[in-house]
Chain A
Amino acid sequence: MEQPVTVAIIEDHPVVTEGVESWIRSDPGQRVRQVLTARDLTGLSAAPGPPADVVILDLELSGELVTTRIPGLVAAGYRVVAFSGHTDPAIVMETLDNGAHAYVSKEEGREHLVEAVLAAADDRPYVTRSQARAMLADQRPARPALSEQERQALLLWFQGMSKASVGRRMAISENTVRQYISRARAKYAATGRPAPSKDALLTRAIEDGVIKPAEIMPYRSFARTSAGPSLGAPGQ
């Protein structure tokens, strides 16, 4: 059996931390192991031993938004799953642009948090309904161009249908629905501020055949080092 994914929970409300722990415990496959909980980010940098694979980060710690701390966490080698009471599309977009793998609102936690952590550990895209909503609402000039099918799959997913139902509605397989949604997410990873987590997500998406390198070429040259400047990327 595979090693469980290790996770650190950064959350200032103990009752929420306990809720997250209970979701992790109740996962039938025990695929996630929690190794650290802290009430702020200093707790994480002071952590002894190997870092956790994934950080579940509450975006508001002691009343302060910490979205700008995400690039630092990503640079330190963590994969970040944002877990927040906020659902404002602008905050969701900023969080993803800063390099978070996924955005899970507190209402979506029970259903999506463990799955989002597993996807992040694998560098695979994971799109919650609040993320789909932010993508649909996105009007920034630098937003990626989504195909009609991708947009429709995102819309139906946001509306609350299961992916199987979305497939029946669109007369495609559930797997193709996942492809469309993942591709939309990968297109977002190819825009905006460069981050190693985004590159990892893109590499994996190309390996998995979710997206072709040619599809993201117009947005950002993929053949570059993750630390290098991103020339010609829109939104820079």
Chain B
Amino acid sequence: MTAVTVQPTAMMSGRYQRAFTIAVLFLVAGWHLAGAGGQLLNNRSAYSSFALQGVLWLVMSLAIAIGAVLVLRGTPSWRQAWALAVIVLACSTAAAAASPASQMLALEWAWGSAGWIGVLVLLRRRFSELAWFLAAAALAILSVQAYDGLNRTSLAAFLALLAWSTGAQVAVAAGVRALDVAAGKAAAAARSEHAARQRAATAQIVAAGRQARWLTLQESAVPLIAELAAGTADPGDPQVRIRCAVQAARLRRLMAEGDEVPGSLVHELHASADVAERRGVTVEIETAGALPQVPGPARRVITDAAIAILTAARSQARITLAAVAAGIAVSFVTDTGAVVSLPAAGHGVAIEQQHDGGMLWAEARWNSQ
């Protein structure tokens, strides 16, 4: 049951999250290829060493590829995410430091890529981790610029770049978070609908069970109650009292049959013994060995015999269940004082009894073959 209700939620919400991850992946790869790559090629003659810049660009491409594998497999671990983050941070700082001092911010291509890769690998980790990373990347660039000489123009250019690239990165990360939450809500709604459907199905099964039990009562308990109500059955008559005891035990067993418990037969025998116990009969139930599962109709035959015997018991009864070759032997030893007329055997159950010095021994043996 649990598996059925929980799975769709996790699956649905997981499917949305994957779609968002792929979208971010395209964004990051697109930016690095077209944005950063385009700028690098466009200004290739302006760099003091184009080869170094090219190598750094390739290292960051590799970082994107590794990051893509990691995020498509799930949320990267702390180590994995930060290892990549530190590598791209170093690349971005190195690329900036290797640019000509006077034109650093104009030729800078790596800062944006570093920020986007950080968004990719830290996407589903704590938001503060991404904030720290973006702050560190910005601070590194600012430090390089300060080393090259910071004036009003270069500070303005830095702030403009910061607002444009880091702002966009924060916005995308926040957007994905919001979409994740929405996907979770959608999945929860689907789950509650699924649960409602399942409740309805369960209710239907319960109703069917109730209907079956009601039909059983129609042919047994209802006529007796009707007779008692009409006065045709006299509660003082011992025969009527026995019929009442039998019906009371059956009602109790009907309730027990609905219970989902391991060892149903033992459970139902306990229920069948309830009424006799309330009459003051001491009932002990013991089992020997690992008991096999007995099918419902056979259990009915056995508990019917139990009800008949326990109704006749005077003061004590011992019920035992023993695993025997290919089945189970359920026996009753009780002081009935006389032979008991037992219900018909069947459904693989054979019933025997022996009366001996005021004690009745009866055995219902179910054979699985």
In the complex, A180 has a CB within 8 A of chain B: no
Alpha-carbon separation in the docked complex, A165 to B335 (Å): 14
Q: For B290, give its contact among A133, A139, A160, A168 (CB under 8 Å).
A: A139
Residue of B with least CB distance to A169? B354
Contact B359 A89, beta carbon cutoff 8 Å: no
Q: Is B139 an interface position by the 8 A CB rule? A: no
Query: Is the CB–CB distance between B288 and A136 below 8 Å?
Result: yes
Q: In the assembly, what is the distance between CA of A137 and CA of B331, in Å?
A: 16
Cβ–Cβ contact B354 & A159, under 8 A: no
Name the distance in Å between A106's Cβ and chain B's nearest Cβ.
13
Given A165-B356, A165-B361, residue A159 in contact with residue B289 (CB < 8 A)? no
A159 to B360, CA, bound (A): 12
Tally chain B residues at the interface, Cβ within 8 Å: 19
Within 8 A of B (CB), among A129-175: 133, 136-137, 139, 155-156, 158-162, 164-165, 168-169
B363 and A159 form a contact (CB under 8 A): yes
Give the chain A neighbours of B361 by CB distance below 8 A: 156, 159-161, 165, 169
Q: Which residues of A contact B267 (CB under 8 A)?
A: none
Min C-beta distance of A141 to chain B, whole Å: 15
A188 to chain B, nearest CB (A): 15
Q: Report whether B333 and A133 are in contact in the complex, using a CB–CB cutoff of 8 Å.
A: no
Q: Are A165 and B354 interface neighbours, CB within 8 A?
A: yes
Taking CB atoms, residues of chain A closer than 8 Å to B331 are: 159-160
B322 touches A155 (CB 8 A): yes
Number of A-B contacts (CB under 8 A): 53
Choose from A136, A139, A162, A165 the contact partner of B322 (Cβ within 8 Å): A136
Contact A160 B324 (CB under 8 A): no
Report yes or no: B288 in contact with A168, Cβ–Cβ below 8 A.
Answer: no
Residue ID in chain B nearest A151 by CB atoms: B324
Q: Is the interface of A mostly helix, strand, loop or mixed?
A: helix
In the complex the two chains form, is A165's CB within 8 Å of B359's CB?
A: yes
B341 to chain A, nearest CB (A): 20
Query: Could you tell me the distance between the alpha carbons of A156 and B290 in the complex, rounded to whole angstroms?
Result: 18
Q: Are A168 and B356 in contact (CB under 8 A)?
A: yes
B347 contacts across to A, CB distance below 8 A: none
Chain A residues contacting B234 (CB-CB under 8 Å) are none
Contact with A along B157-185 (1 / 0, CB 8 A): 00000000000000000000000000000
Q: How far is the CA of A169 from the CA of B356 in the complex (A)?
A: 10
B321's nearest neighbour on chain A, judged by CB, is A159
- Asked if A137 and B288 sit within 8 Å, CB to CB, the answer is yes
Interface residues of A in 107-132 (CB under 8 A from B): 107
Within 8 A of A (CB), among B237-286: 284, 286
Q: Is the CB of B324 within 8 A of A155?
A: yes
What residues on B are CB-neighbors of A159 within 8 Å? 318, 320, 322, 329, 331, 333, 361, 363
Complex Cα spacing A89 to B288, Å: 8
The proximity string for A residues 60-104 relative to B, scoring 1 for CB distances below 8 Å and 0 otherwise, is: 000000000000000000000000000101000000000000000
Taking CB as reference atom, which chain A residue is nearest B324? A155
Is the CB–CB distance between B320 and A160 below 8 Å? yes
Q: Mark A165-206, 1 if CB is under 8 A from B, else 0.
A: 100110000000000000000000000000000000000000
Q: B residues touching A (Cβ–Cβ < 8 Å)?
A: 284, 286, 288-290, 318, 320, 322-324, 329, 331, 333, 354, 356-357, 359, 361, 363
Beyond the given A136-B322, A137-B290, A159-B322, please list 16 additional residue pairs across the A-B interface where CB-CB is below 8 A.
Answer: A136-B323, A137-B288, A137-B289, A137-B323, A158-B286, A159-B329, A159-B333, A160-B318, A160-B320, A160-B331, A161-B359, A162-B356, A162-B359, A165-B359, A168-B354, A169-B354
- CB<8 Å pairs between A and B, sample of 7: A87-B286, A137-B323, A155-B329, A158-B286, A159-B331, A161-B333, A168-B356
